[in-house]
A and B are shown apart, each in its own frame.
Chain A
Amino acid sequence: MESFRSETRNWLEKNCPTSLRRPVVASEIPWGGRNARFASEDARLWLERMGQRGWTAPTWPKEYGGGGLSKKEAKILQEELRRIQAPPALVSFGLSMLGPCLLEFAKEEQKREFLPKIIRGELRWCQGYSEPGSGSDLASLQTRAVDDGDDFIVNGQKIWTSYADESDWIFCLVRTEPDAPKHDGISFLLFDMASPGVSVSPIKLISGSSPFCQTFFQDVRVPKKNLVGKRAGGWTIAKRLLEHERSMISSMGSPGARASLTVPEVAARYVGQQDGRVADPIVRDRIAQQELDALCFGLTTKRSVEASKAGQGPGHAASMFKYYGTELNKRKYELLMSIYGAQGLGWEGEGFDDEELDATRQWLRSKGNSIEGGTSEVQLNVIAKRVLGLPD
């Protein structure tokens, strides 16, 4: 292991551009894809090198372009990356959501086709799940895929499709068996967003940004070889993917992904200090509660990782992390809004610095965390049913 560490250290020393070795903001990390945008030439180089080595997906098998690392080696890689403050080379739904499901459910030729492109950031993926009439009740989805020889013909509408307007391909839930019970008629399809009949319309959010879209399908022809898993067996894959999504969203509230300034630091600046303490005792108590909850949440994540390594994973932990992590994140921004006072209320223009304007938008954006990927209420239902065994 020590030789792996020194090899890794040497390789990173040679290959991680020095201009990137610093804390970066989320917008500097590339999403890849056919029309990939990079904050700098170095960011492009970094993705290229990490992708070649398979280290964007360190534990995925080498035969599909992954790093082929053991969990221990992957941990060392993480430590070495952290040591030099290297930013992630790629952020992608392919890596965090689709890839793990392909590894588990896809046919061999699908793995060979798609996994290398995910790892190297060549295709950007979006998630075709929610529909206007199917939010929390996702399994009621109506987008139809009709059998037509070697193809399916897809018709319907998706909503809340993150970055559909910038994505190359979609992983999409469609109904292939309209007469079957709702959970048993769903299939999991992959198709190109450039296919004829796909159109996309961005949705503007309360935070002013448009990360989500409405996506329309009109007679979109999808080859049957792009069906993942069994026909009508899509719900199992859909649920597994949601678990990956929930872990991803809940990590937004964890200490690893914190903003540039900590809450106590913001308070020191905006509320002021008295004898080294946040001057307002009520705000100080709220901060202590927030920090304490974040500490306990982080420790629970750690415990869950250790338990699953020991083969005793707490069942349905994903719902707990999704629920608690997003609610915690919302509380944090509520607290930050009271700390910033009037300086947290700016929308644009003079009178507010970037951090303040960002805080306003983050506060608004955080409201979506407990809605997307299954609402808090849905997560509580899952816990009540699956973990506590409470009756329907």
Chain B
Amino acid sequence: MSLILTDEQELLRETARDFVKERSPVARLRALRDSADADGFSRDLWREMAELGWVGIFQPEEYGGSDLGFAELGILLEEVGRTLVPEPFLGTVVLGGSALLLGASEQLRKDVLPGVCSGQTLLALAFQEQARFAPFAIETRAEPAGSGYRLSGEKRFVQDGHVADQLVVAARTSGSTGERDGITLFLVDASSAGLTIVRTIMVDSRNAARVSLDGVEVDRSRVLGEPERGAELLDQLLDRGAVALAAEMLGSATEAFERTIAYLKTREQFGAPIGSFQALKHRAADMFCELELSRSVVLEALRATDEGRADLSQLASAAKARLSDTAIRVANEAVQMHGGIGMTDEEEIGFFMKRARVAEQTLGDAAFHRDRFATLRGF
């Protein structure tokens, strides 16, 4: 598949860009933060996005989806990244949506996905337990009980977890922490007895939660993927999550870069625009190259996802590693080049740096993904 956009995809980009610019500029994220909004995003806006077909973008039509692919999801997320839209794309669309599509029984998909696609039902993936990303470091236990299981454990850094109606929870049915084998994924209703969700206020003003499970009962019919072999499904979710997040990071980094270039052209010191100084020009030109390379690997990874290619995991890790590095670097340079004004809360560039840091840590940082890339490449 080609790395350039089709006319339809260009149109989607324009629509998305206009929509987020109009309805969700960065000022909106600031307002949600300053008003300590209980959700941290707008349910009404989310339903509008669902009507545009964004929430079920890659879900089949039979569940109310748009039946498009990751190439299109990537376009949306890039635009969403440009204005730091806080709606729960990662938790609901990408991670939760993929878990249901790839792992749920036909009945469960029929029960849950239409509500997801229409914007009523929100999802989250609860797997991480440690401060640093380690996908199989799972201690949460799932003991057989009645017609299902009883789950106990603690999850943290659950993206969009504070509003989720349904949580995809990774728990151990056997084995011990760190092992791939023995992990099972469950779809857990957020209103279940014994489940406590506490919102965590993050530096990027976006939304995450801690989730405690104290003997939460889950029916066998709500197992996602193969019991004991949840690592296989989790791998796929992490691949898709890494690719999607990389697309969002590409959008944020590109926006931060463009804002910085605009600033270099207008800010004057020593009687000249600071963008005329070679020390800044060279750094800007170098960042431009990094962003172009980043764009290429994101596009390729999105297409590899749609084509179900054998090298998808390699590309997902390549994209997440590259974008983690690029996004952090561009954001740091953006603040530096904005000078004193970049340190103020009033200037928006700081929001981009905060988001870049959280996105970098989400689903594995650059070092994690380089390690995974190397392993998959056989060295």
List residues of A whose CB falls within 8 A of some B CB. 264, 267-268, 276-278, 284-285, 287-289, 291-293, 295-297, 299-300, 302-303, 306-307, 310, 312, 314, 320, 323-324, 377, 379-381, 383-385, 387-392
User: Which of B3, B285, B289, B294 has most chain A Cβ within 10 Å?
Assistant: B285
- B293 & A288 in contact (Cβ 8 Å cutoff): no
Distance to closest chain B CB from A136 (angstroms): 12
- B281 & A384 in contact (Cβ 8 Å cutoff): yes
- B275 & A293 in contact (Cβ 8 Å cutoff): no
Within 8 Å CB of B281, what residues of A?
Answer: 380-381, 384-385, 388, 390
- B4 & A292 in contact (Cβ 8 Å cutoff): no
Distance to closest chain B CB from A237 (angstroms): 25
Contact residues, B276-309 vs A (CB, 8 A): 276, 278, 280-282, 284-286, 288-289, 292-297, 299-300
Within 8 Å CB of B377, what residues of A?
Answer: 264, 288, 291
- A296 & B288 in contact (Cβ 8 Å cutoff): no
Partner of A267, one of B2, B289, B295, B379: B379
- A289 & B370 in contact (Cβ 8 Å cutoff): yes
- A296 & B322 in contact (Cβ 8 Å cutoff): yes
Within 8 Å CB of A392, what residues of B?
Answer: 276
Distance between Cα atoms of A332 and B280 in the complex (Å): 26
Any A CB within 8 A of the CB of B349: no
Within 8 Å CB of A284, what residues of B?
Answer: 371, 374, 379
Distance between Cα atoms of A380 and B297 in the complex (Å): 22
Known: A312-B4, A389-B265. A320 touches B288 (CB 8 A): yes
Known: A292-B322, A307-B4. A299 touches B300 (CB 8 A): yes
Known: A388-B261, A390-B281. A276 touches B378 (CB 8 A): yes
Distance between Cα atoms of A291 and B371 in the complex (Å): 12
- A297 & B293 in contact (Cβ 8 Å cutoff): yes
Any A CB within 8 A of the CB of B144: no
Which residue of B is nearest A302, CB measured? B3
Which residue of B is nearest A390, CB measured? B275
Distance to closest chain B CB from A369 (angstroms): 16
Contact residues, B175-211 vs A (CB, 8 A): none
Distance to closest chain A CB from B243 (angstroms): 14
Distance between Cα atoms of A377 and B377 in the complex (Å): 34
Distance to closest chain B CB from A97 (angstroms): 23
- A380 & B276 in contact (Cβ 8 Å cutoff): no
Known: A288-B373, A381-B278. A391 touches B273 (CB 8 A): yes
Size of the chain B interface, CB-CB below 8 angstroms = 39
Which residue of B is nearest A314, CB measured? B292
Which residue of B is nearest A317, CB measured? B292
B218-242 interface bits toward A, Cβ cutoff 8 Å, 1 = contact, 0 = none: 0000000000000000000000000
- A288 & B285 in contact (Cβ 8 Å cutoff): no
Distance to closest chain A CB from B143 (angstroms): 33
Any A CB within 8 A of the CB of B264: yes
- B293 & A300 in contact (Cβ 8 Å cutoff): yes
- A293 & B374 in contact (Cβ 8 Å cutoff): no
- B373 & A292 in contact (Cβ 8 Å cutoff): yes
Contact residues, B115-146 vs A (CB, 8 A): none
Within 8 Å CB of A379, what residues of B?
Answer: 285
Any A CB within 8 A of the CB of B318: yes
Contact residues, B294-333 vs A (CB, 8 A): 294-297, 299-300, 318, 321-322
Distance between Cα atoms of A289 and B326 in the complex (Å): 13
Within 8 Å CB of B297, what residues of A?
Answer: 295-296, 299
Which residue of A is nearest B3, CB measured? A303
- A310 & B265 in contact (Cβ 8 Å cutoff): no
Distance between Cα atoms of A390 and B276 in the complex (Å): 6
User: Which of B3, B289, B322, B379 has most chain A Cβ within 10 Å?
Assistant: B379
Within 8 Å CB of B45, what residues of A?
Answer: none
- A306 & B292 in contact (Cβ 8 Å cutoff): no
7 A-B pairs besides A299-B297, A306-B2 with CB distance below 8 A are A296-B293, A306-B3, A320-B289, A323-B285, A384-B281, A384-B282, A387-B285
Any A CB within 8 A of the CB of B38: no
Any A CB within 8 A of the CB of B31: no
List residues of B whose CB falls within 8 A of some A CB. 2-4, 261, 264-265, 272-273, 275-276, 278, 280-282, 284-286, 288-289, 292-297, 299-300, 318, 321-322, 367, 370-371, 373-375, 377-379
Partner of B293, one of A264, A324, A381, A385: A324
- A291 & B373 in contact (Cβ 8 Å cutoff): yes
- B293 & A380 in contact (Cβ 8 Å cutoff): no
- B318 & A292 in contact (Cβ 8 Å cutoff): yes
- B379 & A303 in contact (Cβ 8 Å cutoff): no
Within 8 Å CB of A324, what residues of B?
Answer: 289, 293
Distance between Cα atoms of A387 and B285 in the complex (Å): 9
Known: A288-B371, A295-B318, A320-B289. A390 touches B296 (CB 8 A): no
Within 8 Å CB of A267, what residues of B?
Answer: 379
Known: A292-B321, A295-B318, A306-B2. A285 touches B371 (CB 8 A): yes
Within 8 Å CB of B4, what residues of A?
Answer: 303, 306-307, 310, 312
Partner of B370, one of A277, A285, A297, A388: A285
Within 8 Å CB of B295, what residues of A?
Answer: 300, 303
Distance to closest chain B CB from A18 (angstroms): 32
Within 8 Å CB of A293, what residues of B?
Answer: 293
- A384 & B285 in contact (Cβ 8 Å cutoff): yes
13 pairs across A/B with beta carbons < 8 Å? A276-B378, A284-B374, A287-B379, A292-B370, A296-B322, A299-B293, A306-B3, A320-B289, A379-B285, A384-B285, A388-B288, A390-B264, A391-B276
Closest 10 CB pairs of A and B: A264-B379, A384-B281, A383-B285, A299-B296, A296-B293, A303-B3, A288-B370, A380-B285, A390-B275, A300-B296
User: Which of A277, A284, A303, A387 has most chain B Cβ within 10 Å?
Assistant: A303
User: Which of A285, A300, A384 has most chain B Cβ within 10 Å?
Assistant: A384
Distance to closest chain B CB from A323 (angstroms): 6
Distance to closest chain B CB from A377 (angstroms): 7
Distance to closest chain B CB from A184 (angstroms): 24
Within 8 Å CB of A314, what residues of B?
Answer: 292
Known: A264-B377, A268-B379, A391-B265. A383 touches B288 (CB 8 A): yes
Which residue of B is nearest A276, CB measured? B378
Distance to closest chain B CB from A163 (angstroms): 30
User: Which of B3, B292, B300, B370 has most chain A Cβ within 10 Å?
Assistant: B292
Which residue of A is nearest B257, CB measured? A388
- A390 & B289 in contact (Cβ 8 Å cutoff): no
Distance between Cα atoms of A385 and B280 in the complex (Å): 12
Within 8 Å CB of A303, what residues of B?
Answer: 3-4, 295-296, 299
Within 8 Å CB of B275, what residues of A?
Answer: 390-391
